[in-house]
Every structure is written in structure tokens, then in C-alpha cells.
Copies of this chain bind each other. A is one copy, B any other.
Amino acid sequence: MSATIKDVAREARVSIATVSRVLNNSAVVTDETRQRVLEAIKKTGYKPNALARSLKIQKTHTIGLIVPDISSTFYPEVVRGIEDIAAMYNYNIFLCNTDQKEEKEVKYIEILGEKQVDGIIFMGDIVRDSVIQTFNEFGVPVVLAGTQDKDKRFPSVMIDNEKAAYDAVKYLISLEHKRIGMISGPMHDPIGGLQRIEGYKKALEEHGIKYDPELVVEGEFKTRKAYLAMLKLLEYKVDAVFAASDDMAAAAINAIFDSNLKVPEDIHIVGFDNTYISTIFRPTITTIQQPAYDIGAVSMRLLTKLLAKEPIEEMHVILPHQLIVRESTGFGEE
């Protein structure tokens, strides 16, 4: 139906090779023939077929994005960062939501491989063996964004979660708190779960506070669980809480209010992620900023280098995090 390079060639009375040449404005084509071809293109309404081109040159200028859930709070920002850089380098993006389900992850990698993506950016709490194996089967360049495989074989971009948690808790300690609770991510999550708990422990121990397992309650990044977790921590009489996400921090604050206590007057809270919610919630929430956009942008930049076979300075990029002090730890009071 739509015009092909052949139609243009016929119209311009040249060979398809010549048309191809002006299309890729390669080689030296006479201005005159170029003009003829350009006109023919216009006249026929010709649109190049990227599929055919990709099949020939063995490059699609397309990359795959594997994301747990594009409708959650953290990932849209990461994806935006990826997209912006991808657009700069003329890459298009396949979006795949996995809900962190292993079979979906594997299946999507296979589909992406079959669709001949030039590279893949993978996100998800844990990088399973089956996922790693599938990557290897297709031999496609991969960058891990906000996560890491246990053998660190794949390039990755993330923050230092342990250090970030450490900083958050250390800040609470500097505010003279002794009984500091934590609402954690899931225990099976090596990054957002365990690493942050590790940082929490380290901060306590380095400052001579004994670690009490009872004060770490799993919130699993769910507001309902976090709310309940906070109620439990209240029973243990904590005077400060570090929540592994802003959502959970907000839920915790609600639980505190609903128990007729106040933040920051009675209890201090620190969240994690510096999402929108931490700025708009009242009290505004002290939090750790994860540079979500940058994680995406740097991951994509790294991938472009991989694809161009440029030398990589650093396989495992650690981006800086930042403690942002707000009302939930008493900032703004005297």
C-alpha cells in the first residue's frame, strides 16, 4: 500500500541504490539526481521502513526497559531519565512491566531479544539467576538501574543504600534519639530491604546503641503494612523512626496521629526517596533523596557507551544521595 523505495526509484528514474544513498545522504550523489529523488519521495509520500533497514544493518536503535511497575512512585521518574537520554541518542524504548514476577521478567527479556533490541535496562529488587541466564542467551548488552546482581557481572547504576540508611539514622542519633525504630522493606529484597537495615544497624552500633531486632518491623513498602508496623513500634515506645520509603513514612505519621501523638513534637520520622509525597505531606518529611531521574539518565548513558563500544570508566556507578531535612524531624521549630 504505502510507497517503497522501489516506487521512489521508478518515479525518479534511478536505481533503488541511488534512492538509498540520498536517504542516508551518503556518498556523492549529483545535486541534480538528489533533487529528482527528493521530489519523487515527496510525490510518492514515501516513508522509510525501519524494519527492513534494521534487518539489514542489524541494529534497531531500540532498547528494552524492564520495570517492576510504571504506576508506582519511584520508577516513572527513572524511566523519564532514561527516555530523555534515549531520545538524545535517537533510541526508542520498549516498556515492560513485570510486577517483579520472575516468569514475566524472563518472558519479556525473550521477547525483547527476539525483537532485536540493541540493549536492555533492567530494574527490580533482585536479579534472579533465570534472568541472568536469559540475558546471556541473547547476549544483549544490559545495564541494571537501581539494583545489582550478586556477582556484579553486569554494569549498574545505583546509590549506596547502606550508607544512605546509615546517614538517615545517624541524623536521628544526632538529634539525641536513643530508641530508634525502623520500618523496613521486605527482608528478601537485598537492596531496598537488607542493605538499608544494615545501614541502620551500623549507625546504631557505631554510636554505642545496642541493636534490638524488635525495633525493625517489615513494612514491605506498603502503606497499610507500614501503618500497622508503626502501631507496633509505638508499643515499643520508640522516639524516632526510620522508614525505608516516603510512602511508609507518611503512613507511619498517620498512624502516630491516629494514636493521638504528634510529629515532630513526640516522634521524629525520616523517610526515603524524596518523592513528591514527602514535599506535599504535612508535616513535610525528612528523607533521603534517591536521584531517580539521574539513575535513569546515567543508566541510559552508560548503555549508549556500551552500544558504541566506547570504553567504560566505571562498571558500577554509585550516585550520591542526600539527606533532606524537613518538618518531620523538627526542622523549622525553635
Across the interface, do A92 and B115 meet the contact criterion of CB distance under 8 Å?
A: yes
Q: Does A39 reach chain B (CB closer than 8 Å)?
A: no
Across the interface, do A116 and B51 meet the contact criterion of CB distance under 8 Å?
A: yes
Question: A70 CA to B87 CA in the complex, in Å?
Answer: 14
Q: Which residues of B contact A223 (CB under 8 A)?
A: 280
User: Which of A148-156, A186-194, A209-217, A249-257 touches B?
Assistant: A249-257
Q: Does A49 reach chain B (CB closer than 8 Å)?
A: yes
A-B complex: 5 closest residue pairs judged by Cβ atoms: A71-B80, A50-B114, A95-B95, A71-B76, A50-B115
Question: A52 CA to B110 CA in the complex, in Å?
Answer: 16
| Interface residues of A, Cβ cutoff 8 Å to B | 1-2, 45, 47-52, 54-55, 60, 62, 65, 69-73, 75-77, 79-80, 83-84, 87, 92-97, 110-111, 113-116, 137-139, 223, 247, 250-251, 254, 257, 276-277, 280-282, 293
Question: A282 CA to B253 CA in the complex, in Å?
Answer: 10
Q: Which residues of B contact A73 (CB under 8 A)?
A: 276
**Beta-carbon nearest neighbor of A60 in chain B:** B51
The one of B94, B137, B276 that contacts A93, using a Cβ cutoff of 8 Å: B94
Q: Which residues of B contact A47 (CB under 8 A)?
A: 110, 113-114, 137-138
**Beta-carbon nearest neighbor of A251 in chain B:** B280
**Beta-carbon nearest neighbor of A77 in chain B:** B71
Question: A75 CA to B75 CA in the complex, in Å?
Answer: 13
Q: Which residues of B contact A110 (CB under 8 A)?
A: 47
Please, could you name 6 A-B residue pairs with CB atoms under 8 Å apart, sorted by A? A45-B137, A84-B97, A92-B96, A92-B115, A93-B95, A280-B281
Q: A70-B76, A76-B70 are in contact. Are A48 and B114 (CB under 8 A)?
A: yes
